[in-house]
A and B are shown apart, each in its own frame.
Chain A
Amino acid sequence: MEFEYLLDGTPRKITLERLESGWTIRDGEAAAQVEIRQISEHELLLLSGDTAHRVLIARDGDRLFVRLDGREVLLTEPGEHRGRSAGGEAGASGDGRRIIAPMPGKVIKVCVAAGEAVRKNQTLVIVEAMKMENEIKAASDGAVVKVHVTAGELVDAERTLIELEPAGTPKEAK
């Protein structure tokens, strides 16, 4: 049976087939036989060849946290892609138009108004979480289409803060 996950935003497919004793894992051309032993609600042993891998696994909504070999691998169920940028800058959303809150927090300051022209890296909004201020910056030159929040407001992660119209060509190239 085939399963699909997003790893750092990239779709990955994996196939599991039940054998008489154990499983076959297929990843593209590669295949391996493993035994899978469930130890507890969050713990598995993967016995692959003569090595045993302890796996801890937990789920939060569409995210699966998998830990093995001393590493944590974060997988996301495809379909409900939530627009999280894997390694991006604060506030950079998928299309660069919708500026989203990178984490839940409190809006400390809105630095721009609708209609205003902004430059790349200009601070748009300051969001505070855990007592640290985080400056949400413009990913490109453009103009503010709409401001969705006001100072003092509590926002959830990925809430739209500001809509930007990226400039086709920078107006004031400097």
Chain B
Amino acid sequence: MFRKILIANRGEIAVRVIRACREMGIPSVAVYSEADRTALHVRIADEAVFIGPSPAAESYLDMDRLVEAARRTGAEAVHPGYGFLAENADFARRLEREKLVFIGPNADALELVGDKVRARRTMEKAGVPIIPGMKTTPTDIAEFEAAAAALGFPVIVKASAGGGGKGMRVVNAPESLAAALDAGRREAKSAFGDESVYLEKYLEAPRHVEFQVLADRHGRTVHLFERECSIQRRHQKIVEESPSPALDPELRAAMGETAVKAMKAAGYDNAGTVEFLLDAGRRFYFLEVNARLQVEHPVTELVTGVDLVRQQIRIAAGEPLEFGQEDLHQRGHAIECRVYAEDPARNFLPSSGRILVFEEPKGPGVRHDGGIAAGWDVPIFYDPILAKLIVWAEDRARACDRMAAALSDYVLLGVRTTIPFLREVIAHPAFREGRLDTGFIGKHFEGWSEKPAGVETTRLALAAAAFADATGMGRRSSGATDASGPSSAPTPWTSIGRWRMGRE
């Protein structure tokens, strides 16, 4: 086993991997940029190395600095998390040359599945059903126009190097094709450093169902069942669950076998996910392979009892899987909600700033994977994901109840988050009934805004604010702007000696 692991990532996923290392008795090394000096992953790792300025290109994406950090600390392996360099074959090869182990798939498989267009060709050849669309990435607009005309609108622009919704644009009519290609290329270039894009037929309102796969380096490949991730905004998953309400045992078995076949065709090892779109006629199509640990991996962990990060590390160290397909079962139901630093009241614009008060929900079956802490400033430079709230219960209805309660208990003041929105998604009758598809948010939450608080709640909130203003309460951690007034009272009862107007 490795003597030390460097985590080439930040935020909640870095925290998650550091915790797995700790359980396995492996010392961990965090890396951090200027903006992340006081971030949670830096605080909890055994060691932390500064790797550069805030923009990711000069820190988390800088291979030289990461390799240097690994050298300096004596790390033997590198866990890339998700995003950043997680699916970068050049990084995997570079580590290999430097005699460091990349905790992920082999570079050839990574390269194959990372090239979405090549992956589509490979899967088609292996007998895996694919979505109709282009199998090349031309630069000439005429070729895109011809392909779009042949497929029929709507089509979707996708980044060949893509994933996670970046670079994707739905195009409904020929006249918007050029602008969509332009925007897709720019976003792809910025997110992946590669601006190749292609077109696929845009399937309207399918379900997104993906299968978690683990493959060791001794020829054993198993799947850990599905996750349904149909609840998406701007092509970003926001709620995921396992099992999928759409699958019965036969369909699950067929898709699981196809997922294993797909990974074998790609020569894949370590943890990976095969994404499918499932249409209303129960036909499924290969979407792409996510060659990494995924954001939504905890729902699989909760229903199968398998620690995926631990398995990733074991596989990378050359150890064989300790279980076969027949040993794996789904038990109960798990749901995950992603908490983003986006303001639902302002059209989900990114929201940065200081986290002033933070309380994570607790209780039976409640898991919180977060990379945040009170007093920390959410930077503008990275993905807006702050944390994930995951619940497990005996069945789906109880899991929904548990998630609703946990979201109500979630306190994060200072930065606007998607929590109020998530609460309404989970409470929606269509969600409760499992009637999900990728058009769910557009259909049920178009132009959504949170209902204002009730009269009584508003009144008490105003009274509490007035009390706080009168006593100077809640000021201390708000920055250095105001030192007047006592910030906490010595006795539980606060007496007010001096009145002030609300305005100073």
Binding site for B on A (CB under 8 A): 1-5, 7-8, 12, 14, 16, 18, 23, 25, 27, 30, 32, 34, 36-42, 44, 46, 48, 53, 55-61, 64-73, 75, 77-79, 85-90, 102-105, 108-109, 128-134
Contacts and interface: CB of A to CB of B under 8 A. Distances in A.
Interface stretch (B73-81, B140-148, B182-190, B204-212): B182-190
Interface string B381-394: 11110000000000
Contact of B464 (A55, A77, A78, A89): A55
A174 B477 CA distance: 54
B425 to A, nearest CB: 16
B237 interface: no
A30 B408 CA distance: 28
A31 to B, nearest CB: 10
Interface string B151-165: 000000000000000
A59 B186 contact: no
B496 interface: yes
Given A58-B413, A64-B465, A67-B413, A102 B349 contact: yes
A17 to B, nearest CB: 10
A39 B492 contact: yes
A26 to B, nearest CB: 9
Contact of A60 (B354, B466, B469): B354
B453 A71 contact: yes
B478 A58 contact: yes
A25 to B, nearest CB: 4
Contacts of A85: 346
A97 to B, nearest CB: 20
A132 B186 CA distance: 11
A88 B352 contact: no
Interface of B: 166, 183, 186-187, 190-191, 234, 341, 345-347, 349-354, 356-357, 359, 380-384, 408, 411, 413-414, 420, 449, 452-454, 457-471, 473-479, 481, 487-489, 492-494, 496, 499-503
Nearest to B471: A38
15 contacts: A1-B466, A1-B470, A1-B499, A3-B502, A4-B502, A5-B462, A38-B489, A48-B460, A56-B359, A58-B413, A59-B468, A65-B413, A87-B345, A129-B352, A130-B341
Contact of A66 (B351, B465, B476, B502): B465
B347 to A, nearest CB: 6
Closest 5 CB pairs of A and B: A58-B356, A3-B502, A65-B413, A73-B461, A14-B462
Nearest to A66: B461
A149 B80 CA distance: 36
Contact of B411 (A16, A34, A56, A75): A56
Contacts of B383: 130-131
A41 B380 contact: no
A58 B487 CA distance: 11
Instruction: Count chain A CB atoms within 10 A of each CB in B354, B462, B468, B475 and give the residue with the most.
Output: B462
Contact of B462 (A27, A58, A59, A131): A27
Contact of A68 (B449, B461, B469, B496): B461
B349 A90 contact: yes
Contacts of B463: 14, 16, 23, 25, 34, 36, 46
Contact of B357 (A8, A16, A42, A69): A42
A7 B458 contact: yes
Contacts of A5: 462, 465, 502
Given A1-B470, A104-B352, A14 B478 contact: no
Contacts of B473: 38, 41-42, 44, 57
Given A36-B494, A38-B494, A65-B414, A103 B352 contact: yes
Nearest to B499: A1
B411 to A, nearest CB: 6
Contacts of A23: 463, 467
A37 B413 contact: no
Nearest to B164: A131
Nearest to A102: B349
B356 to A, nearest CB: 3
A60 B479 contact: yes
Nearest to A16: B466
A82 to B, nearest CB: 13
Contacts of A66: 461, 464-465
Contacts of A60: 353-354, 356, 414, 478-479
B489 to A, nearest CB: 5
Contacts of B469: 3, 64
A38 B350 contact: no
B465 A57 contact: yes
Contacts of B476: 41
A67 B494 contact: no
A18 B493 contact: no
A73 B457 contact: yes
A143 B481 CA distance: 40
A73 to B, nearest CB: 4
Nearest to A79: B503
B157 to A, nearest CB: 13
